[in-house]
Amino acid sequence: MRGFTDIHTHILPGVDDGAQDLSQALRMLRTAWKYGTRTVILTPHYRGTYKQNTPGVLKENFAWLQEMVNSELPGMQLYLGQEIAYETDAPVAMYQSNVMCINDSQYVLLEFQNTSLRAQIVNGVAETIHSGFVPIVAHVERCDIVREEPDLPEELLHMGALLQLNADSILGKNGFGIKRFCHKLLKNEMVHFVASDAHDTEYRPPVLQECFLKVHKKYGAKYAAMLFYDNAQAVIEDRIVE
């Protein structure tokens, strides 16, 4: 089995509500390694007070973490991006390179609030695409309106967005309704990525293995490979995600 690629994590230390220091970041990466993840994309938040974390600050922290990982987990591959909360300044920030695309690619991890309206989500995706980027809608299952309006996921896909689910949601750890919605999307092959959205080692750990085994069993080896490694690798290499 190939190692998993986790496209959405909060492991970069000291920059958001994820890992608070280097020690915690390394514990998270060791946990990820233990459960089969070999490539991790670090996606600290861009929203509210976290906007003070400029690309320069993030790259400096990334280099610091990378140095430690090279000595302690030499087989682990790290890449840098951001989880960008869609707000009025987000398209401008992307265009002016004030936020991090994933590994300097065309792909951006785009977050909407649970209570975002349909128009906000559609407009956010449209503006992101118009600005020259490919939006990956983070934990799409958490948006109330996406679950309530069955045609909305398909509209987002037709616009050119890609969809990411959290592993815990697929496993039912965020409620039955969200689990049922996730499996509806998976059954119709409307999902491109499954990620941990890890924030710590206890409550939101960077673990994908259990979810991979479930998806592999229920939806097949080919689709599981796309969700847990192939599509994420295409993003890292700035190739088209099929």
What is the tens place of the pLDDT at every residue in 74-120?
Answer: 999 999 999 999 987 888 888 788 999 999 999 999 999 999 999 99
Residue span of the structural domain in which 101 resides: 4-236
- Residue 128 counted as domain residue: yes
- Residue 242 counted as domain residue: no
Statement: residue 138 has pLDDT above 60: yes
- Residue 20 counted as domain residue: yes
3-state secondary structure 207-233: CCHHHHHHHHHHHCHHHHHHHHHHHHH
Task: Please count the residues of the chain.
Answer: 242
State the total domains in the chain. 1
- Residue 81 counted as domain residue: yes
CATH classification at residue 124: 3.20.20.140
Contacts of 22 (CB under 8 A, 6+ apart): 13, 14, 64, 65, 68
- Residue 241 counted as domain residue: no
